[in-house]
Amino acid sequence: PHVAVETDVAIIGAGPTGLFAVFECGMLRMKCVVIDTLEAIGGQCAALYPEKPIYDIPAHPAISGGALIEQLQEQAAPFAPIYLLGRRVEALAPHEGGFELRTSKGEAVRARAVIIAAGAGAFGPNRPPLNDLHSYEATGAVRYMVARREELRGKRVVIAGGGDSAVDWALSLKGIAKRVTVVHRRPKFRAAPESVAQMEAAAARGEIDLAIPYQLHGLRGAGGALSEVVLATLKGEERAVAADHLLAFFGLSMELGPIAQWGLGLERSHVTVNPATLETNIPGIHAIGDIATYPGKLKLILQGFSEAAMAAHAIHPRIFPGEALHFEYSTSKGVPAE
């Protein structure tokens, strides 16, 4: 495989604890790569509640999820972490005294130690249970996100879902796509009221079709090319909508996924660790944050921060064998200039 990076520590997960681990490793002169399934850093804070205030981050009486991540990124920046985003770590195996990770993009990442900061697992879209879904996903006929609106120019698009993503994309695509149909199982949308009002006004002008109350029922087409999306009411009344694309916005879910296959000690979907070192049953692989469990574990960001520091100290002798680690405060050491 193509070796994308060789480094000291590979951190799986760019949530708050993974980001702070970059800082703690950096203070001990250990270089890091951070890999995340999502296209953006920040884990749950950025993906699930960027605007919600958090009240239990020490010295921040209130800070939003998004702002916390920005600050953590800034704090980690002097140590020049390499971010590999938009890829899931699929495999982790020993390699020449360290480890080799394989990502969903087919690359290899080599590191002498690993910190798993994977939260509740990798985020992925909630998929509708439809026939031949996989073949339509493979061609991009069915999508869960839109990278470039232009790809949908002149296409017939069915948008499913009742939240902000569905409403915002309906508004955003109405002048670009040939036809936009929004499918939702009930009249009420869980989205910003102003956006819902705009969508309803656009529907009244005939710029958007609303298919309510309908649910997705099936896909028709051939060879991964979509021709119709079949909808049904709860009573089973069916209706087919001509479509080139289905955009399904049913939220994100988290699954432990491949991590369960790596031979790590697990307890109810969490990785068991030694609380003094955060080391798993495999020497050199540590786990911190929401994914780690031990007696007394609290699933709080502040506890994840402390675990990042302890894991970094425990990893140091592996990266710098025989070198004494003198404990120092950040105030006496300073951070490198960016």
* Residues near ligand FAD (CB under 6 A): 12-18, 35-38, 43-45, 48-49, 54, 56, 88-89, 117-123, 257-259, 289-290, 299-302, 304
Dihedral of CA 206/207/210/216: which sign?
positive
Using Cβ positions, the residue closest to ligand FAD within the complex turns out to be 119
> Could you tell me the smallest distance in angstroms from the CB atom of residue 23 to ligand FAD?
13
> Could you tell me the smallest distance in angstroms from the CB atom of residue 233 to ligand FAD?
33
Nearer residue to ligand FAD within complex by CB, 191 or 241:
191
Q: Please check if 290 is assigned to a binding site.
A: yes
Q: Please check if 329 is assigned to a binding site.
A: no
| The length of the chain, given as a count of residues | 338
Contact 170, 146 (CB under 8 A): no
Q: Please check if 44 is assigned to a binding site.
A: yes
> Could you tell me the smallest distance in angstroms from the CB atom of residue 185 to ligand FAD?
24
Q: Please check if 7 is assigned to a binding site.
A: no
Cα distances (angstroms) measured from residue 153 to each of 60, 123, 183, 245:
45, 28, 20, 11
Cα distances (angstroms) measured from residue 154 to each of 145, 199, 223, 245, 334:
18, 19, 21, 11, 56
Instruction: Tell me the β-bridge partners of 226.
Output: 221
DSSP, res 156: E
Cα torsion through 144, 148, 154, 160, rounded to 10: 20
> Could you tell me the smallest distance in angstroms from the CB atom of residue 37 to ligand FAD?
4
Nearer residue to ligand FAD within complex by CB, 56 or 328:
56
- Cβ burial of 252 (10 Å; 0-12, 13-18, 19+) is middle
Q: Please check if 56 is assigned to a binding site.
A: no
> Could you tell me the smallest distance in angstroms from the CB atom of residue 273 to ligand FAD?
13
Q: Please check if 123 is assigned to a binding site.
A: yes
As annotated, the binding site includes 17, 36, 44, 49, 89, 123, 290, 331
Binding residues for FAD: 17, 36, 44, 49, 89, 123, 290, 331
